[in-house]
Amino acid sequence: MKKTIIYFLLFVSNALFAQHQKSPRLIYPGLFEEVQLSRIYADGKSFADAVPKADPASIMKAYLNQKSSKDFNLKNFVDSHFSLPESHTALYKSDIKAGIERHLDTLWTVLQRNPDTTTTYQSSLLPLPKPYLVPGGRFREVYYWDSYFTMLGLKEAGKTKLMKDMVDNFAYLINTYGFIPNGNRSYYLTRSQPPFFAAMVQLLVLDNPDVKLNEYKDALEKEYQFWMKGAEQLKPGNAINHVVKLSDGAILNRYYDAGDQPREESYREDYEAAKSTKQNPATFLRNVRSAAESGWDFSSRWFADGLSFSQIITTDLLPVDLNTLMYNLERTIAAANQEAGDTKKASLFSARANKRKAAILKYFWNAQQNFFTDYNWKNKSFSKQLTLAASFPLYFKLATAVQAKAVSEKLEKDFLKSGGLITTLKTTKEQWDAPNAWAPLQWVSISGLHHYGYHKLADTITNRWVNLNIAVFKNTGKLMEKYNVVETNSKGGGGGEYPLQDGFGWTNGVLLKLLKR
């Protein structure tokens, strides 16, 4: 009992600490900007994740006193006052001869983090009360939507306890902050990520009689409130936060970051990019940050012309994947309330899910393209960008049989390459475009096709993706964040703001699931 009380007090202390935590830019005004714009570290995330060696107030006092002196060296100052983070997978050496399943089994341990405790001096990490898995490489914290796909592998590996710990951590984040941040860092507190929490809970309770859906009912409803905040006051043709109300009264969601400053983990990149756009800088930066909330950072999907980063219009678009996830959230809340005996609330959320389904089929089915696309609510038109987000209505089983057939045909004709499915049909320098492919989108597409009986195509994609993963592993001893499915002799995908990462949480989860299947 004594240990339980001590643990509880520590947990409460961590929660109170986290609630008042500021991001690095607010803690070190002036110093933070100078470090990031000077690019004394190749990766802007390094300083954002750094741990101070002394009280931040004393560090700022020393900086203000020393910065104007002739012999002041910024890098030496930072190195003497901060401990910079290391890659969690940098020191790990794989044994290729032991095989890929042995590698996957070992990685669960390599990528696992113990419950966080508050440090002597405040860093950007938001403490979590239970163990969790990080993706790997520069991603040293838990990531929201990554974790669902990682859990697919955990379930196959029989690690149900760790799955529940991670779901409980996400419920803790919802209860502490009112939503699940992009990751457990203070600089992520302005945005979330694709809302897979409901899908995580569904996965956890599947074949697990020890856990009930209604245990997470309150957390599910709180997350729903975050995504729907302001909906009741909206008039047709207007938007607020994550919510848009269309002219016919349909209410749908968009990605929306509450901030309009450069992202702290990519400060220099955003600062420079804002100089080359015709948009108002605050509008441009909110669109950039909102694309980061989508998880697809970055992709031609979000660009007005399908080509130029400077024309990013994320908040003008209603994403088909986000709204199918919201449909699943509404259905899950209905089921949780039904299980809890609240039939009135269950009926309310079932009705909301049915309305959303009708709106999805109306606003995201592009009859001209015979494909699901995003919808531009500002100019009332379908997006011209064709992407693997079209697989989400199949994954959540709300597409019609005719629509599923059309999607399957286009996936096979235009997206299928020698190593799997490309993300979009545009080849750009952005990492969420061709020739790159990502494990979560392979899984969503493969499963969606199986749901509608397109087993042969699903199996073809599976075989090509698994073979590519294995080939790269045999060549490098690593599993990658993303892959080039066009040039399968490459060691992984390219593009983006940072070097190719290995580890890698969601690749491991999806690969193990497919290998077991």
Per-residue pLDDT of the chain (517 residues; tens, 9 = 90+): 444 443 344 444 444 344 458 999 999 999 999 999 999 999 999 999 999 999 999 999 999 999 999 999 999 999 999 999 876 556 677 889 999 999 999 999 999 999 998 766 889 999 999 999 999 999 999 999 999 999 999 999 999 999 999 999 999 999 999 999 999 999 999 999 999 999 999 999 999 999 999 999 999 999 999 999 999 999 999 999 999 999 999 999 999 999 999 999 999 999 999 999 999 999 999 999 999 999 999 999 999 999 999 999 999 999 999 999 999 999 999 999 999 999 999 999 999 999 999 999 999 999 999 999 999 999 999 999 999 999 999 999 999 999 999 999 999 999 999 999 999 999 999 999 999 999 999 999 999 999 999 999 999 999 999 999 999 999 999 999 999 999 988 888 988 888 888 889 999 999 999 999 8
With CA atoms as reference, report the closest residue to 94 among 106, 85, 82, 86: 106
Q: Yes or no: say if 482 and 149 are a contact pair by the CB < 8 Å rule.
A: no
Number of Cα atoms under 13 Å in the Cβ half of residue 397: 7
Helix, strand or coil, per DSSP, at residue 382: strand
Known catalytic residue at 481: yes
DSSP structure class, residue 178: S
Q: Yes or no: say if 79 and 295 are a contact pair by the CB < 8 Å rule.
A: no
**How far is it, in rounded angstroms, from Cα 449 to Cα 287?**
32
pLDDT of residue 152: 98
Terminal Cα-to-Cα distance of the chain (whole angstroms) = 44
Please report the beta strands in 166-242, taking only residues with DSSP state E, as ranges in sequence order: 238-240
**How far is it, in rounded angstroms, from Cα 213 to Cα 162?**
17
Q: How far is CA 103 from the centre of its chain?
A: 24
From the list 297, 316, 330, 374, the catalytic residue is: 297
**How far is it, in rounded angstroms, from Cα 142 to Cα 113?**
9
DSSP structure class, residue 414: I
Measured CA distances, 7 to 11, 115, 120, 130, 171 (Å): 6, 11, 18, 11, 18
With CA atoms as reference, report the closest residue to 445 among 512, 392, 406, 404: 392
Known catalytic residue at 141: no
Q: Yes or no: say if 291 and 375 are a contact pair by the CB < 8 Å rule.
A: no
Q: What type of residue sits at position 108?
A: W
Measured CA distances, 299 to 273, 302, 444, 506 (Å): 15, 6, 18, 19
With CA atoms as reference, report the closest residue to 252 among 364, 334, 400, 336: 364
Global pTM value:
0.95
With CA atoms as reference, report the closest residue to 289 among 274, 276, 278, 304: 274
**How far is it, in rounded angstroms, from Cα 41 to Cα 364?**
42
pLDDT of residue 426: 97
pLDDT of residue 373: 98
From the list 264, 265, 270, 481, the catalytic residue is: 481
- Residue 275's Cβ-count burial label (10 Å; 0-12, 13-18, 19+) is exposed
